[in-house]
Amino acid sequence: MQTTSTNQINTPITLFKHKLNTPLTKKKITVLQINLGKRCNLACAHCHVEASPKRTEELSPEICTQLIELIYKFPEIEIVDLTGGAPEMNYGFKPLVEAAKATGKQIIVRSNLTIYFAEGFGDLPEYFAQNQVRIVASLPCYLADNVDKMRGAGVFDDSIKALQWLNRFGYGQAANLILDLVYNPQLPTGEKFALAPEQTNLERDYKRFLKDNFNIEFNNLFTITNLPVGRTKMYLERKKLYIPYLQFLESHFNTNTIEHLMCRNELSIDYLGNVYDCDFNQMMNLPAKNAKGENLTVTQLLAASNLDLISEVQTAAYCYGCTAGSGSSCGGALI
């Protein structure tokens, strides 16, 4: 069995690239995911970005200008997906939304919902509706205790108020105002690991519970596996569960997910303008490479007038999180 070395420990985890047999090739790029920075009003226990109110890293005006140029220059970009941290708090958020809107692309914001109650951000729900921004909002459980344990005291109540606010603007009901929720499993406390429940069934339960108890409507529920990256990785290491969790994920490897992995048709850009295959690789400092094995930046994409400079996706052991069971991506289960 091939092994990989993570944190200097030789582990019995099969190298992901050996599991695949063939290189994980890139398809035509249609999604631009921009991580605007690490500032966030929350500091969730599972955050793979290690975001918090104390972080200061964010997009510069120079990189923002380049990203706007990229959005205008490449009609093949169908989706501009804004993430963070809380993307709304980081420099360049509204200019990027407006560039994507002006060029007719779908705009996604990965929103924690609670930011709408922070000083200076109360206009966001109306702004989102005016710009027909698709909202993908974290709500890791429909039970208050579980959400507050993972994300902080009072987060569940604020999330509910925010969802009701969005509903009042037509989100979750009007065809052009899409509101999706994200479920993450609780972090494991012992070696009894579980994958996310089946997405369709869980969506039905979420819809029933939120409608009956809070009169909330939404469109889709995305189940997302906790990848052992960022705070989730640190937590697992503290509990001595990091290797067992990777083994668990590998034991559920599903080859049918490979065709649909989000890294195959997206570029992930960091606040410095560096290019990655996905946000997890970004957080683990595993840059995308061109055919010569060189790192890429937004400057180089613009100079080449070509987004398709990457032939092979960079992978690591945590990729087992995207390929376990029904698979996982920023858009939920893969199959």
Q: Is 278 in the site for ligand SF4 (CB under 6 A)?
A: yes
| # of chain residues touching ligand SF4 (CB under 6 A) | 25
Q: Does 236 bind ligand SF4 (CB under 6 A)?
A: no
- CA-to-CA dists, residue 80 to 106, 190, 300, angstroms: 6, 38, 19
| Residue from the set 90, 199, 315, 326 that interacts with ligand SF4 by CB under 6 A | 315
Query: At residue 37, what are phi and psi to the nearest 5 degrees?
Result: 155, 180
Rounded to the nearest 10 degrees, how much is the dihedral formed by the CA atoms of 9, 14, 15, 19? -170
Choose between 43 and 302: whose C-beta lies nearer to ligand SF4: 43
Cβ atoms of 11 and 320 within 8 Å: the answer is: no
141 touches ligand SF4 by CB under 6 A: no
Shorter beta-carbon distance to ligand SF4: residue 53 or 95:
53
Q: Which two structure tokens, joined as six digits, stand for 70?
A: 């990229």
Between 296 and 322, name the residue whose CB sits nearer to ligand SF4: 322
Of the candidates 271, 265, 278, 274, the residue with the CA atom closest to the CA atom of residue 321 = 278
Helix axes 230-238, 242-251, angle to 10 degrees: 110
Stretch that binds ligand SF4, among 6-14, 101-109, 211-219, 260-268 (CB under 6 A): 260-268
Residues 42 to 101: which contact ligand SF4 by CB under 6 A?
42-44, 47, 49, 51, 84-86
Binding segment toward ligand SF4, per CB under 6 A, in 37-45, 64-72, 93-101, 169-177: 37-45
Beta strand ranges found along the chain (DSSP E): 4-6, 9-11, 31-35, 79-83, 106-111, 134-138, 179-183, 221-223, 266-269, 275-276
- Which of 14, 159, 223, 281 binds ligand SF4 (CB under 6 A)? It is 281
How far is Cα 31 from Cα 125, in angstroms, rounded to an integer? 24
**Residues of this chain that bind ligand SF4 (CB under 6 A):** 40, 42-44, 47, 49, 51, 84-86, 112, 138, 151, 261-263, 277-278, 280-281, 313, 315, 318-319, 322
